[in-house]
A and B are shown apart, each in its own frame.
Chain A
Amino acid sequence: MALKIVKGSIDRMFDKNLQDLVRGIRNHKEDEAKYISTCIDEIKQELKQDNIAVKANAVCKLTYLQMLGYDVSWAAFNIVEVMSSSKFTYKRIGYLAASQCFHESTDVIMLTTNQIRKDLSSPNQYDTGVALTGLSCFVTPDLARDLANDIMTLMSHTKPYIRKKAVLIMYKVFLKYPESLRPAFPRLKEKLEDPDPGVQSAAVNVICELARRNPKNYLSLAPLFFKLMTSSTNNWVLIKIIKLFGALTPLEPRLGKKLIEPLTNLIHSTSAMSLLYECVNTVIAVLISLSSGMPNHSASIQLCVQKLRILIEDSDQNCEPSVNACMKYLGLLAMSKILKTHPKSVQSHKDLILQCLDDKDESIRLRALDLLYGMVSKKNLMEIVKKLMLHVDKAEGTTYRDELLTKIIDICSQSNYQYITNFEWYISILVELTRLEGTRHGHLIASQMLDVAIRVKAIRVFAVAQMATLLDNAHLLTGNVQRKGICEVLYAAAWICGEFSEHLDNPTQTLEAMLRPKVATLPGHIQAVYVQNAAKLFATVLKSQEGNTDSTAAQETSQLMIDRLPLFVQSANLEVQERASCILQLVKYIQKLQQKDVEIAEEVIALFAGELNPVAPKAQKKVPVPEGLDLDAWINEPPSESESEDEQPRAIFAKEEPKHSRPRHTEVDEKELAKRREARKQEQANNPFYIKSSPSSQKVYQEAPGVEHIPVVQIDLSVPLKVPVFCPTGLPMSDQYVKLEEERRQKDRADKKKKEKKKRKEKRSGRGKRHDSGPESEEDITPAHMVDIVTEEMPENALPSDDDDKDPNDPHKALDIDLDKPLADSEKLPVRSHRAAEVLKSPAQDGDAESAASQEPKKKSSKEKREKKKDKDRDRKKSKEDKKKKKKHKHEEKGEDLLGGQAEEPVVQSEATSEVAAPPTSTTAEVSDLDFWLSNAPVPSNTQEAATVVAAAEAAPTSEVASGTAPDSEPDEPKDTETEETKSSKHKKKKQKKEKEEKEKKKKKKHHHHHHHSDGGGEESVQNGTVEEEEPLPPMSNYCLLAENSYIKMMMEDADKVNDIQGNLQDGSQVVVSVIFENKCDSFLKSMEFNVLDSLNSKLQRPEGSGPHDGLTVPFQLPPGVSNEARFVFTMQSIITPQKLKGTLTFIVKNEDSSTHEKLDFKLHFTCTSYLISTPCYSDAFAKLLESGDLKCSSVKLEGVVMPFHHLLARICFRHHFSVVERIDSCASMYSRSIQDHHVCLLVKTSGQTVSIDAKCDEPTLLGNVLDEIKQTFSQC
């Protein structure tokens, strides 16, 4: 063995290491590939050895080769081997290699789960760190699911180094396993306030990344981020937060108002350019969101644009030129944001933008191009495009040129060709673009040609002529191999010439051009179009020739077809061949008929009759479902057995959600729809191009001011309709159009003025309806000829909607999850339990309880923290309560009780009986929280510190408003208008029932009081600022301390696990107790014996053959610091009363030099609760049970319970093994069953801080004890 190791290390000395490999590669420049292949062979040999050091060295070299482009996936298994080395050095090499070459389809990844889990829990923080880093690169959905819980635990690790990595990797976990987001979110949120700035930064990073895709879900975090923004000094964090606010402000303009001041402060105070720029950016976003409602803000937008202009224009002489270029770029980028909402403000800087097009920096040119898109108007379109065309000619490099090309087309075609006044000009631009060399965008030009020719009827004559010329000169397009992409335009040309062949001047010539042998070299799909359209042309030609007396011409045309088509019949392309042979036979038949002097042109034309209209791409999706058709309804009766059983249990927690959210949404949508429709109508009405066939819109068109005097159809014949495509003078054709257009416009204007003068004279006393527009406004430019843009066809009553624009494959779509809803039991993260799986009747719930419990020891630190927090909460609430009481006493001591009683009674009753589901109170509270934070906005003044205090002070009453009004707040409570807290409570009051009035008044006073108090700025209120809107469910553990001394700690799981339910139901008397033994000292503990003094009722089950007083040997030993769990089975006679058993644990403490015998006494407490098994029950079964009348009734009232209702329920479920049957608002029914089959039913109601529990059970003693225990649970907290 030793020899082997020695041999291994000797081997290793002769191995190449990474440096040798690199050196070798550098020395073999000429035959690098060959050298590397020998190296790979060596590496393969090394990987075969047992020595891990050799393997790691080999893997290290492979990582380098991977960077050079060599596939190393064949070594994936070896990489896993190296990853699992116990040495950090090798582990790091392994994880690095894995992170470089593993991905989702690497199959060995599934072998790594346990290894990674081991590393994550390694005592060495760098093992954990390396595993996290590696995992972040290759996490798969499976790994994410299996490890989510382990990583979540690490988020509360003691070392900030681990915490920050764990927080960061959660984002990747969320992406791969979206279900983990909700359970993990509370902790993530907690990390925003981690004491370590690195952890904080990581949490901000993750939340910003999440919020960027689904901002609305994170709006409720705004107050917290606001606080961070005003307190953090880490620029990186600030940038992220400010960027996040930029994304949030469009959703909530009131947030913007709050932000302006702190952002301005930052702008003045920071020296970091990056932070400054992001602040400016967000200020712009804020201004945009504000000004969309109020016009007076456009002045500040103007100001921003001015500032940006300076950024773009000026170059600071003191800076590096590249920094100036960066600022220029960013200035343009910010400008484009303004452009989207305020195009007018940017348009005045056209000169600057055009100037940027000449910049030597391509990035800047591209940005400028982007801006141009939004700056065009009818007036300047031709000019801008002319400039761009010049750039196209100058541009080097196809990327930029292609970008220019697409931009030109985008600019011209935007909003339904809104800005094009002369389509002849546009067609000629398109034709000019076909001369571009090596463009990839032939299809784009082609589709534009098709679109324009189809939709602008008036342009067809011109378009057809141009296309015919293109076809005639097809050799220019196809001649060069490089120009492959461009031949797509021939597709369009051929189709246009065929479809609109009646407009052709010389169809025979075009037909001849389309049947040239050269055509056979074009791509198949183009040939197919050629063949088909040749047939259409042929039909037109026949028609024109048949009228003539001379029939030979017609026969010649047929002959031409018959001569040329066989070429296409031989085509390898199926489409071409099929069409060609079909048409060939047709023509042959026609020829036969022609020879008999039959007139067939009409019939041939009939083959291609009818007009094709464009159909919108989404038309099918938008066909509305006809009334009375329910697509979800069963066609036949469904099979009966799948009815209630499958549907019911789900309703327990999920029920309330759809009920409240649905109707609201539709209502909003309805309004939104109406608005959109209106907007569209408006747009159509203002669009002079838009002529709809329906009489109503026609009327609108004619009534529209400004256009009413434009002569409707009057083709200006002064414009020549035909200009040769390839102009001999070399002057691009489009330029001629620009000139002509200028002239035309001038003439037009003159004409108009004349007319107007005339009209004014005539109509001086007439209706003064028409607004006289300025000298040269947009609308005054009349199109060259009236064109009819056919819109894309949509089904009747199509529903306009935008929701189908989202990419269904976007991984972030799955993360669009409501984070404010309380967690359901089923949502907990899957945890690997550390004992054999137990089968229970309700596996989901029980499994969760168990997992939560088994997780607990690890999470202690976080638990403690939370508990502290909870304490704080409690204290706060208590103090508030005290105050409340004092207040009450001062004021209306007498009426208080009476009124309180009166007010409360009906509420409880109505809630208990009503089936109407109000929204979950927590949500409402949350909404009003944020609302309050936003609305009560005396903008923080002066310094940042002041801002913090104000924010905190504001937050303080918020939580009280929430807790005070949430239970009886109404679902449709308006939430925007009021600004003052008192007002809002007044407002609410109005809506409430008369009975509550008195109570409310009191409440109001209470608010008042607290408000003043917090304005005073007590320390308490600052603390309150940190309180989250909704507390996450506090962690609950069923482990309680059993006994402890300096050597050992015994924790007992609250005797809840009745493991083997089968056995239990048979004899109904077994309870299993899990005890965790933790070694607290530095010595070894062994020979542990567990013994209990049996009582009459309960006995410890001992192995057969042992006496009734013998102890049980604990089946393990404990090294220092280790804990383990053992289970002991007890048999019970009666379970209706709680039991206490005395016991002792004896063990030997073994040191290096001595060993001593020690013992520890403990008391085992079996509560009645521990005999209950959480069992799911359906509401109908539950109802039957209650109706049966076998059950005895009892009730209990708990006072001063301050936790939210869902916490309360969760606590009862968890501590006392109940399951929720149904929950309606603040009322829930719960069920549990004892191991001896007693049914226990609870009806839990809450109002204010009083919780009343009505209970029924067939065993009154048991029930009494259980209720006592419940009472105790809540009195403890």
Chain B
Amino acid sequence: MIKAILIFNNHGKPRLSKFYEHYNEDTEQQIIRETFHLVSKRDENVCNFLEGGMLIGGSDYKLIYRHYATLYFVFCVDSSESELGILDLIQVFVETLDKCFENVCELDLIFHVDKVHNILAEMVMGGMVLETNMNEIITQVDAQNKMEKSEVTSVLA
């Protein structure tokens, strides 16, 4: 199971937070801060797995993250997920974003966090991996966006 997915930038500003377990807003912010603190002080060349975030809790959980340019993508998962598998999944996620936004950059995530959520929803559902095939994800996202567009135009017409 995936417990949480966080995206934040090099300064710890959250760009997306998806918790698959309920926390109140303050705790969520604290988790984001602490995770940022843990992840950001690590060198570039160390491994992408991290244990011991106290808030996210439990020895069964670990943080798996990747650093792309200005953004950190962090998945908090339990031992039923394969570490390397999740690393691949993060890669798929980023590549999908890249396709959907055409050369994605931090600004896209800043202004279109809702779209990022929609893309993520096609990959991970309720903490479980739904789809790993990028083409399938993009097809579904596109179809939904098309539907949205047709609705918007019908309102204006």
Question: Chain B at the A interface: mostly helix, strand, loop or mixed?
Answer: mixed
A153 within 8 Å of B by Cβ? no
Given contacts A92-B118, A361-B46, contact A274 B126 (CB under 8 A): no
What's the minimum C-beta distance from B135 to chain A, rounded to whole angstroms? Answer: 12
Give residues 124-157 of B contacting A (CB, 8 Å): 125-133, 136, 140, 143-144, 147-148, 151-152, 155
The reply to whether A321 and B125 contact each other, CB–CB distance below 8 Å, is no
B100 within 8 Å of A by Cβ? no
B102 within 8 Å of A by Cβ? no
CA of A278 to CA of B87 in the docked complex: distance in angstroms? Answer: 14
A376 within 8 Å of B by Cβ? no
A1128 within 8 Å of B by Cβ? no
CB-nearest residue of chain B to A72: B25
Given contacts A209-B128, A274-B85, contact A88 B28 (CB under 8 A): no
CA of A169 to CA of B121 in the docked complex: distance in angstroms? Answer: 13
A378 within 8 Å of B by Cβ? no
The reply to whether B87 and A326 contact each other, CB–CB distance below 8 Å, is yes
CA of A954 to CA of B117 in the docked complex: distance in angstroms? Answer: 47
The reply to whether B155 and A239 contact each other, CB–CB distance below 8 Å, is no
Size category of the binding interface on chain A: 35 or more
The reply to whether A243 and B80 contact each other, CB–CB distance below 8 Å, is yes
Partner of B44 from A208, A274, A322 at Cβ < 8 Å: A322
The reply to whether B114 and A22 contact each other, CB–CB distance below 8 Å, is no
A172 within 8 Å of B by Cβ? yes
The reply to whether B125 and A326 contact each other, CB–CB distance below 8 Å, is no
The reply to whether B136 and A88 contact each other, CB–CB distance below 8 Å, is no
The reply to whether B131 and A322 contact each other, CB–CB distance below 8 Å, is no
The reply to whether A103 and B111 contact each other, CB–CB distance below 8 Å, is no
What's the minimum C-beta distance from B40 to chain A, rounded to whole angstroms? Answer: 13
Size category of the binding interface on chain B: 35 or more
Interface centre among B46, B131, B133 (most CB of A within 10 A): B46
What's the minimum C-beta distance from A908 to chain B, rounded to whole angstroms? Answer: 49
Contact flags A271-294 to B (C-beta < 8 A → 1, else 0) = 011100110000000000000000
The reply to whether A366 and B118 contact each other, CB–CB distance below 8 Å, is no
Given contacts A169-B125, A326-B87, A363-B49, contact A126 B143 (CB under 8 A): yes
What's the minimum C-beta distance from B54 to chain A, rounded to whole angstroms? Answer: 8
CA of A273 to CA of B83 in the docked complex: distance in angstroms? Answer: 11
Residues of A within 8 A of B136 (CB): 198
A726 within 8 Å of B by Cβ? no
B113 within 8 Å of A by Cβ? yes
The reply to whether B46 and A68 contact each other, CB–CB distance below 8 Å, is no
CA of A60 to CA of B155 in the docked complex: distance in angstroms? Answer: 18
The reply to whether B25 and A71 contact each other, CB–CB distance below 8 Å, is yes
Residues of B within 8 A of A272 (CB): 88
A1090 within 8 Å of B by Cβ? no
The reply to whether B85 and A329 contact each other, CB–CB distance below 8 Å, is no
Contact flags A24-68 to B (C-beta < 8 A → 1, else 0) = 001000000000000000000000000001000000100110111
The reply to whether B114 and A277 contact each other, CB–CB distance below 8 Å, is no
Partner of A325 from B16, B17, B46, B126 at Cβ < 8 Å: B46
B9 within 8 Å of A by Cβ? no
The reply to whether A322 and B47 contact each other, CB–CB distance below 8 Å, is yes
CA of A70 to CA of B28 in the docked complex: distance in angstroms? Answer: 10
Partner of A132 from B14, B125, B132, B148 at Cβ < 8 Å: B125
The reply to whether A161 and B140 contact each other, CB–CB distance below 8 Å, is yes
Contact flags B14-51 to A (C-beta < 8 A → 1, else 0) = 10111010101110110000000000001111111111
A918 within 8 Å of B by Cβ? no
What's the minimum C-beta distance from B153 to chain A, rounded to whole angstroms? Answer: 11
The reply to whether A18 and B114 contact each other, CB–CB distance below 8 Å, is yes
CA of A206 to CA of B80 in the docked complex: distance in angstroms? Answer: 11
The reply to whether B87 and A274 contact each other, CB–CB distance below 8 Å, is yes
A16 within 8 Å of B by Cβ? no
The reply to whether B130 and A202 contact each other, CB–CB distance below 8 Å, is yes
B55 within 8 Å of A by Cβ? no
B57 within 8 Å of A by Cβ? no
CB-nearest residue of chain B to A106: B22
The reply to whether B47 and A325 contact each other, CB–CB distance below 8 Å, is yes
B70 within 8 Å of A by Cβ? no
The reply to whether B128 and A274 contact each other, CB–CB distance below 8 Å, is no
The reply to whether B126 and A136 contact each other, CB–CB distance below 8 Å, is yes
The reply to whether A329 and B49 contact each other, CB–CB distance below 8 Å, is yes
CA of A1180 to CA of B22 in the docked complex: distance in angstroms? Answer: 52
The reply to whether A22 and B110 contact each other, CB–CB distance below 8 Å, is yes
Given contacts A22-B110, A330-B84, contact A53 B155 (CB under 8 A): yes
A497 within 8 Å of B by Cβ? no
Interface centre among A63, A132, A205, A363 (most CB of B within 10 A): A363
The reply to whether A322 and B151 contact each other, CB–CB distance below 8 Å, is no
The reply to whether B130 and A69 contact each other, CB–CB distance below 8 Å, is no
What's the minimum C-beta distance from A846 to chain B, rounded to whole angstroms? Answer: 35
Residues of B within 8 A of A63 (CB): 113-114, 117
Give residues 1243-1266 of A contacting B (CB, 8 Å): none
The reply to whether B80 and A96 contact each other, CB–CB distance below 8 Å, is no
The reply to whether A198 and B131 contact each other, CB–CB distance below 8 Å, is yes
CA of A363 to CA of B42 in the docked complex: distance in angstroms? Answer: 10
What's the minimum C-beta distance from B125 to chain A, rounded to whole angstroms? Answer: 5
The reply to whether A64 and B113 contact each other, CB–CB distance below 8 Å, is yes
Residues of A within 8 A of B144 (CB): 88, 92, 126
Give residues 81-118 of B contacting A (CB, 8 Å): 82-85, 87-88, 110-114, 117-118
The reply to whether B47 and A205 contact each other, CB–CB distance below 8 Å, is no
The reply to whether B128 and A326 contact each other, CB–CB distance below 8 Å, is no
The reply to whether A274 and B88 contact each other, CB–CB distance below 8 Å, is yes
CB-nearest residue of chain A to B118: A92
The reply to whether B47 and A172 contact each other, CB–CB distance below 8 Å, is no
CA of A277 to CA of B45 in the docked complex: distance in angstroms? Answer: 20
CA of A362 to CA of B47 in the docked complex: distance in angstroms? Answer: 9
Given contacts A22-B111, A325-B46, contact A69 B151 (CB under 8 A): no
A93 within 8 Å of B by Cβ? yes
Contact flags B41-77 to A (C-beta < 8 A → 1, else 0) = 0111111111110100000000000000000000000
Residues of B within 8 A of A403 (CB): 52
Residues of A within 8 A of B17 (CB): 67
A399 within 8 Å of B by Cβ? yes
CA of A1222 to CA of B148 in the docked complex: distance in angstroms? Answer: 58
Given contacts A19-B111, A137-B20, contact A89 B148 (CB under 8 A): yes
A236 within 8 Å of B by Cβ? yes
Residues of B within 8 A of A9 (CB): 155
Residues of A within 8 A of B22 (CB): 103-104
Given contacts A136-B125, A168-B130, contact A70 B45 (CB under 8 A): no
Interface centre among B22, B47, B48 (most CB of A within 10 A): B47
What's the minimum C-beta distance from B31 to chain A, rounded to whole angstroms? Answer: 11
A133 within 8 Å of B by Cβ? yes
Residues of A within 8 A of B83 (CB): 274, 277, 326, 330
CA of A564 to CA of B95 in the docked complex: distance in angstroms? Answer: 73
A1239 within 8 Å of B by Cβ? no
A1140 within 8 Å of B by Cβ? no
Residues of B within 8 A of A53 (CB): 155
CA of A972 to CA of B118 in the docked complex: distance in angstroms? Answer: 56
What's the minimum C-beta distance from B91 to chain A, rounded to whole angstroms? Answer: 11
Residues of B within 8 A of A235 (CB): 85
The reply to whether B128 and A206 contact each other, CB–CB distance below 8 Å, is yes
Given contacts A60-B114, A325-B45, contact A165 B130 (CB under 8 A): yes
CA of A361 to CA of B20 in the docked complex: distance in angstroms? Answer: 29
Partner of B151 from A70, A87, A361, A399 at Cβ < 8 Å: A87
CA of A439 to CA of B140 in the docked complex: distance in angstroms? Answer: 51
4 nearest A-B pairs in the assembled complex, by CB-CB distance:
A136-B126, A274-B84, A325-B47, A103-B22
Name 17 A/B residue pairs within 8 A (Cβ), A-sorted.
A18-B114, A66-B25, A69-B26, A100-B18, A104-B22, A126-B143, A133-B121, A136-B125, A137-B20, A164-B130, A198-B130, A202-B130, A206-B128, A243-B80, A274-B84, A321-B45, A363-B47
A-side interface residues toward B, CB under 8 Å? 9, 18-19, 22-23, 26, 53, 60, 63-64, 66-71, 87-89, 92-93, 96, 100, 103-104, 124, 126, 129-130, 132-133, 136-137, 139, 161, 164-165, 168-169, 171-172, 198, 201-202, 205-206, 208-209, 212, 234-236, 239, 243, 272-274, 277-278, 320-322, 325-326, 328-330, 360-364, 366, 399, 403
